[in-house]
Amino acid sequence: MALQESPLQTGAEIFVERHGFRLPAVYSDFSSEYAAATTGAGIHDASYMGRLKATGEDGLDLLNRMSTNKVIDLAAGEGAVTVLTTDRGRIIDVLGVVNQGDHVILLTSPGRQQAVIDWLDKYTIMEDLVVEDVTAETTMLALVGPEAAGLLGQDSAHIPQDSLTSRSIELAGSEVLAVEQPLGSLSRYWLISTPDAAAGIWQHLIDRGATPVGATAMDAVRVNFGVPEYGPELGEPYNPLEAGLIGSVDFTKGCYIGQEVVARLDSYKKVQKYLVCLSFSVEEGVSPGDELLVEGRPVGTITSVAPEATCGVLKGLGYVKAASAIPGARLDISSLENASAEILAFAQPYGPAKD
C-alpha cells in the first residue's frame, strides 16, 4: 500500500511508517506527549485504524453468530468489543462494534478491513447485510487521557473496558461521531469525521488544551497499558484466551464460530500461554523477538517493547507459557546477560472474565 500522509502534521519533523501511513513520530517531545495522553489529554491521528459500515437488518445477528461477545442486544449508541475467530478458535481480528441504529460501525485493526469483509462475506448466505470499507472517506482522531471527556463536554462516566458508546457531537462547526472506547484503563474517544473537517477539529481541541501525540508516545501508551496489537500479539497464531481478550468473550451467549474450541480451552484449563505485561531491568537493548528464559530454558517471547522508558522503567508485552506466567516472576532475556524481565500482570485490555 502506498504511504498516505497524515493530514495533521503541524509541528512534526520526524516521521515513521505505520500500517501504510506516514505518521508524525514526535510533535514536541516524547515525555510531554506521553504525559498528556496519560495524565491530561492527548490528540492523535488514528486514521490508520480500519472503519467498516455494515448496512442491513441482519448485521448484529450475524456478528453475534460469528464472534465471541454478545452484540445482538446492543441498542443504538451502544457498542462492544468482540473477536472474530476461525472454527479453530484463532483470532481473525478484534472488532469494536457500534450500533448506529440504521447501520453498524466496525472498527478493525489497521489494514484488516478486507480480511474482515471477506470473512463476513463468506458466511453471509441469506442475511440482509452489506459491509463497505469507509476508512478512506473518513478521518479518525483519538483523544486520549483522563481529561478527554471534559474537552468534549462529555460526562467522564467510566464504561466497562469491553464496551463502546457513541453519540454525534458538534466540534469546530462540524458533525463528529464521538465513540468512547477505553484504552486499557485509560479514557479514549475516537472522533470520526469527514477528512475536510479533521484539521479544524484537531486545532479546536489543541486550542482547548489537548497535546498532539505522535506515533512513538502512542506506542508507549499502548504497551504500558497492556493493549495488544494485530501482528505482534493478535492474529491466527493466537486464540482470544491466550491474548488476554477474555473480557470480550461471553461464555453463556451461545454458539459462534470457534465457540466450541474456546469453551473447551477455558473449561479444561488448556490455555498454553498467556500475554503478559513486562517491565525490564534495563532501559534499552530489549527487542521484540527476544526469548524469555527460566534457568536457560525458553518459556516465552517478547512481542512488543515500548519505544522509550517512562518514569525510568522500560515496559513491554510478551507471550509466556502458562506454567511460568506468574505475576511477580522474573525471567531472563536471551539477548542480554545481565538483564531480566518481571511479569507485572496478565494483559487483559477488555477486563477480566465476565461473571
Binding residues (CB under 8 A) for other proteins: these are 62, 64-66, 87, 120, 122-127, 255-261
Q: How many CA atoms lie within 13 A of 93 on its CB side?
A: 23
Nearer to other proteins, 125 or 157 (CB): 125
Nearer to other proteins, 52 or 191 (CB): 52
Q: Measure the CA angle with vertex 310, ends 305 and 313; round to 5°.
A: 70
Q: How far is the CB of 54 from other proteins (least distance, A)?
A: 13
Rg, Å, the chain Cα set? 20
Nearer to other proteins, 29 or 87 (CB): 87
Q: How far is the CB of 122 from other proteins (least distance, A)?
A: 8
Q: How far is the CB of 87 from other proteins (least distance, A)?
A: 5
The secondary structure of residue 310, as a DSSP letter, is B
Q: How far is the CB of 126 from other proteins (least distance, A)?
A: 6
Nearer to other proteins, 64 or 135 (CB): 64
* Alpha carbons 77 and 89: distance in angstroms, whole number: 29
Nearer to other proteins, 62 or 140 (CB): 62
* Alpha carbons 297 and 282: distance in angstroms, whole number: 21
* Alpha carbons 316 and 188: distance in angstroms, whole number: 21
* Alpha carbons 262 and 293: distance in angstroms, whole number: 28
Q: How far is the CB of 154 from other proteins (least distance, A)?
A: 35
* Alpha carbons 180 and 318: distance in angstroms, whole number: 27
Q: How far is the CB of 264 from other proteins (least distance, A)?
A: 9
Nearer to other proteins, 86 or 281 (CB): 86
DSSP 194-220: -HHHHHHHHHHHHHTT-EE--HHHHHH
Which phi and psi (to 5°) does residue 198 adopt?
Answer: -65, -40
| Percentages of the chain per state (helix, strand, coil), in multiples of 5 | 20, 35, 45
Nearer to other proteins, 69 or 224 (CB): 69
Q: How far is the CB of 68 from other proteins (least distance, A)?
A: 12
